[in-house]
Chains A and B, each alone.
Chain A
Amino acid sequence: MKAHLTRRYSFSASHRLHSPRLTDEENRRVFGKCNNPYGHGHNYTLEVTVAGEIQARTGMVCDLGELDAAVLREAIDPMDHQHLNALEALAGQVPSTEVLARYIFERLRHSFRAAKVERVRLQETAQNSAEYGGERAERATAAPGQ
């Protein structure tokens, strides 16, 4: 029997939405208040979903302590009470909710092997969240320059 287990975590961090591919004026227009130079902060809620067979010995998909340790190591420790624009791995990228969700998913997928990391959902505020599960899709037309 295959179950999907979701665990919720939280961390607080600051960031600034600013793209080096845009002019200062464009950055201000596109990102508005989020472009303010000193940054601003959020209380993020992170949901990590793993999937797998329920183990007969434990009744569980995986050991929650191991999952917690992996999420702490890969996401919470590097991000909690940090300025996300300073993360080396995201250099040159805008630390939007989408980019952060993808980054956390990729890190967890490579380091946590006890069950399949299926999805990451990152909530920036009660109004906004992004989900990423590594899906790729073909699009009819590719945008130029990508």
Chain B
Amino acid sequence: MGVYAGMSKREVNVVYLTRRCEFSASHFYHNPQMSDEENRRVFGRCNNPLGHGHNYALEITVEGEIDPRTGYVLDLAELKQILEREVLDSFDHRFLNKEVPEFAALIPTTENIAVAIWRRLQGKLPTRLHRVRLYEAADLFVDYYGE
């Protein structure tokens, strides 16, 4: 917006663009500050230390105005590349607790993974990140808006 400082105000149409991708990964839930028994009680089957897996679906929504030259809010090929580089390359076919540094001391719940993905993408996109939606399964997803 700085480009327009000092110029008359203008109205733009804000458009939300969403790209969906998938990754498969394993994880388990365990809080080292709780006893083994408490972990089993709170996390149930998710506490199995060998882990279990999901096909995650990730929807990234960006917000911006339409570039009159291209008609795009954002070049989808560019968004795809950024998602691969920042997220999928390190999450897909990995054991999240052991192989993704954010989860060395943080439980990789759907909530925490969504926040971690937001932090990886923030500042890396050419337009504003609006929402990270992460599906762990078809019947469970988390939305994070950076709040």
List the interface of chain A (C-beta within 8 A of B).
Answer: 1-9, 49, 54, 57-61, 63-65
Contact = CB atoms under 8 A, between A and B. Distances in A.
Nearest to A65: B44
Interface stretch (B55-63, B67-75, B82-90, B137-145): B137-145
B18 interface: no
A38 to B, nearest CB: 32
B139 A59 contact: no
Interface size class of B (residues with CB under 8 A): 20 to 34
B34 interface: yes
B66 interface: no
Interface string B76-103: 0000000000000000000000000000
Contact of B143 (A6, A7, A63): A6
A61 B139 contact: no
A54 B140 contact: no
Contact of B110 (A5, A49, A57): A5
Q: In this complex, which of A5, A49, A61 has the most chain B Cβ atoms within 10 angstroms of its Cβ? A: A5
A7 B140 contact: yes
